[in-house]
Amino acid sequence: MKKNPFLVAGFSLLALAAAACNTVEGAGEDVEATGEAIEDTANDAGA
């Protein structure tokens, strides 16, 4: 069975992300911070 390198990389990134967020609350805070950063960048760009 041949492994798809993108699938392996995707699961690896998912595992790293899960390890970085110890709780569901922590994951929510990370998503919120990312959204705020994108919003701030859009506001700075004048969008």
The model's pLDDT over 6-34, given as tens digits with 9 standing for 90+, comes to 888 888 888 887 776 667 777 788 889 99
Question: How many structural domains does the chain have?
Answer: 1
Give the single-character DSSP code of 23.
S
Domain presence at residue 16: no
Q: How confident is the model at residue 37 (pLDDT cuts 50, 70, 90)?
A: very high
Residue 5 lies inside a defined structural domain of this protein: no
Q: In the chain, what percentage of residues exceed pLDDT 70?
A: 85
Q: Is there a domain that residue 14 lies in? A: no
Q: pTM to 2 decimals?
A: 0.47
Is residue 4 a part of any domain in this protein?
no
Q: Report the SS3 class of residue 4.
A: coil
Residue 43 structural domain:
23-47
Is 37 inside any structural domain?
Answer: yes
